[in-house]
Every structure is written in structure tokens, then in C-alpha cells.
Structure 1
Amino acid sequence: MIFYTVKTEVRREIVIKKSKFIATIFSISSLDEAQKKLNEIKMEFRDATHCPYSLRIGYERIIERFSDDGEPPRSSGLPILQELKKTNVTNILLVVTRYFGGIKLGLGGLNRAYRESAMLVLDTAKKVRSLPLVRFDLSLDRVYSGKIRNILEHFNARIIQENYGDKAEYSVKIEKERKKGFLEALKTVTRGKIRIREVPSED
């Protein structure tokens, strides 16, 4: 199955019976990052009535989470999750912030409102193919750091962490399907003088 994610953060707003629904979608790579984004939303909309959300992370073993955040059970987080699954997206956090407008929507009305909010932001967001990533920890002589940086750029590697002490050390993620060429390039430019450790996937 081909999965997709969003290229950038997107936000859309609708009003239903005087209640305002603000849907925000993010690309994420971990539960920690999802929690950080959720905290930021709750801080930005600290006076909101509710902030239900749903997320999906991974590929072979997809992690799915949702929360109604005080709304009636399964009235908000679940319909958001169902829309994520319909569009085959992963590594996604979708939060719908609600400002209560004084008119109760009922369970069915809430379900439709949150579903519509999720659909709107998903339809608007530019989607890109989401490929499985593999993580490597690299350690090498600093003399090779310039060449290594060129390789990281060529393979569109995501640098998670880098340190320069006695050795140049990098923690990076690359697309899994490019793993073989990436490792060969690293060994070639360093003449084999590099320590490579593949970090076990959480997926």
C-alpha cells in the first residue's frame, strides 16, 4: 500500500451552529513530536472548549491514537481518525480545536462536524508520498566531514543530531529504499574508515 503525508502544516476553519472548528494538520515522525505539536496547539488556543485529535505513525505496524478531549466518547477523535485512514495518510497529527457557540450539536452533529473539519483540511493539504525511513548513527574522522555532508545532501538525509569532537558524529534518517547506495557512498568516500550503526526501527 502507498502512504502519503502532508508537505507543510495546514489550517482550515468552519463554523457550524455558531461553534467554531479549527482544523490543523501536521507531519510528524514520532509520538514525542506529536505531543509537542499538541501542546503548542493547546497553548495557542488556550481558551478553546475542546481540542480533539487523531494521529497515525508508521508503515507496517501503524500506531493510531485519538482523543475526544472532553467531548462525548467517540464523537470527535474517532471520526477524525476515520478520515485519516480513508486517505491513506501516515506520520500525521490532525487536531480540531472547538470554540463552543452556545448551541448543542448532539452526538450525531458533533460527529459530522469533526468529520467535516478533518475532510476540509485533508482536501486542502498538499500530500506527498510517505516512504519508510531508516536511521543510522555515523562516526568518522573529521577530515571526511565535508564529503559526508555532500552525501547526506545528495540522499536527502534528515540530520537528527550532529556532534564534532575527536570524531564527527551524525545521527541521520534516509529513505529505506535508498539504503544500499547510501552505505556504499559512505564507505567509498571514507575509504572504509567510518563506523555505521543502524538503529532498530520503532515501526
Structure 2
Amino acid sequence: MSNSYNTIEKPVLNIILKEKGSRFIGFAWQVNSEEEIRKRLEELKAEHPKATHHCYAYRLGINGEKYRANDDGEPSGSAGLPIYNQLLAHGVTNILLVAVRYYGGTKLGVSGLVRAYKDCAKMTLAESTITVRELEFTIEIEFNFSQQNTVFTVLNRYGTKILDFQSGDSCTITASLKLGHKKSISEQLSEMQHIQFTFRD
């Protein structure tokens, strides 16, 4: 299984496409949970309360296992699916891609809507920088104060991010590191006496 995935480096905002008087505004965010997606959509609806539609698609998970395409009142399959297909075409995941529409008075028809939402999504992703992210995991390590240097040496070897460190006679470190290092670091820590460690998702 791969330990990395493609996503966007930073948000892309306010990419505008005009089609027969209607205005389509594209937005893309790197996201890690459905809760984060809900929050982004709420913020966007508050920012564009007079928009006719807020259509979107998202993919979550290393292989895009969780996904959704939402037409938000547009004819079925005319908005969310063309947006979702652009996420697939670009091979990206952990992304929320939204096209906000302000209706301009002229109906576009289903084929016109499909084209407009596809083009808006495509233009938005074209403005992004695609980056490779590696999956990470969290480890909690308990050890004696005298073992500090040894533990930190092992953690530094794997480019670990220290999230929390509690020092005393007994010390606890919570750290984040790349999933690809999980086997190596657990083997090294297992060889040390008086060290306990647990993995968290």
C-alpha cells in the first residue's frame, strides 16, 4: 500500500468563469475530515448568501475512499459529478472543490451546466500547486529521565515532529512521524529496556 498521496499545497479561491450571464466561482481546499468540509461549506455559504447554488465534490483518504458529489439543486449529475471527475482526472485526494453559481437569467441546459461546472473546476485546480503528502501516525513513548538522549536520537533520525513532551523522573513524548518509518522505529524502541510506546491514528 502506498504511504503517500497527491493533494493541493494551499487553498485556491475566487476563480471566476462567466457563461451566458451566470457567474461561476471556484474554490479548493486541502481537507482531512468531513467535519472540516462541513465547516468550509458553512463559511462559504455565509460568504456568498445570495448565490443560487453551492455545488461541490470532495475526496478523502489515500485512495479517495470517502467521496461525495453534490448538485445543490441543479439537475442531477450536471454539477457535482463534473466537479468530482476533475478531482479524479488530476489524481488528487483530501480536497474539497466547490463551484458557487450566481444565476444570470439565461438557462444553460444540462449539457451547458456540465461544461460550465467542469470548466470552473478545471480552472480552479489549474491554479493550484499539486504536492505529495506522506501519511503520518502518532506515537506516545514513556521512558526514564536517564534515557532522554537515546530516545531523542532515535526520533531525530526519522524527522519526527514532537507534539508534546512531559519531563520528570518518568518522561512522556507524543510525536508525529511518517507512516513509512513505523516498522523501523518500533523495532528500535522495542530493543530498549524500560520503554513503553503506543501508536495512535
Q: TM-score, normalised by structure 1?
A: 0.77
- Counterpart CA distance in 2 for 1:110 and 1:90 is 24
Q: Tell me, what secondary structure is at the counterpart of 1:104?
A: coil
- Please give the residue correspondences for 1:182-193 in structure 2 after superposition, counting only pairs within 5 Å: 182-183=185-186, 187=189
C-alpha displacement of 1:116? 0.1
* Paired amino acid for 2:137: R
2:197 matched to which residue of 1?
A: 196
* Paired amino acid for 1:4: N
Q: RMSD of aligned C-alpha atoms?
A: 3.3
Q: Which runs of 5+ in 1 are unaligned?
A: none
Decide whether aligned partners of structure 1 residues 129 and 46 sit closer, same or farther in structure 2, where only a CA change above 3 A counts.
same
Q: Tell me, what secondary structure is at the counterpart of 1:41?
A: helix
Q: Say if 2:143 and 2:196, in contact at 8 Å, map to a contact too.
A: no
Q: Tell me, what secondary structure is at the counterpart of 1:52?
A: strand
* Paired amino acid for 2:25: I
Q: TM-score, normalised by structure 2?
A: 0.78
- Counterpart CA distance in 1 for 2:41 and 2:186 is 36
2:102 matched to which residue of 1?
A: 99
Task: Give the paired residue count.
Answer: 193
1:39 matched to which residue of 2?
A: 42
Q: Any idea what the Cα deviations from partners look like across 1:133-176, whole Å, max 9, x if unmatched?
A: 242241546965xx86x9479626495xx586986563x54332
* Paired amino acid for 2:197: I
1:62 matched to which residue of 2?
A: 65
Q: Say if 1:134 and 1:198, in contact at 8 Å, map to a contact too.
A: no
Q: Tell me, what secondary structure is at the counterpart of 2:54?
A: coil
Of 103-112 and 173-182, the range deviating more from structure 2: 173-182
- Counterpart CA distance in 1 for 2:144 and 2:48 is 46
Q: Which has the larger radius of gyration?
A: 2
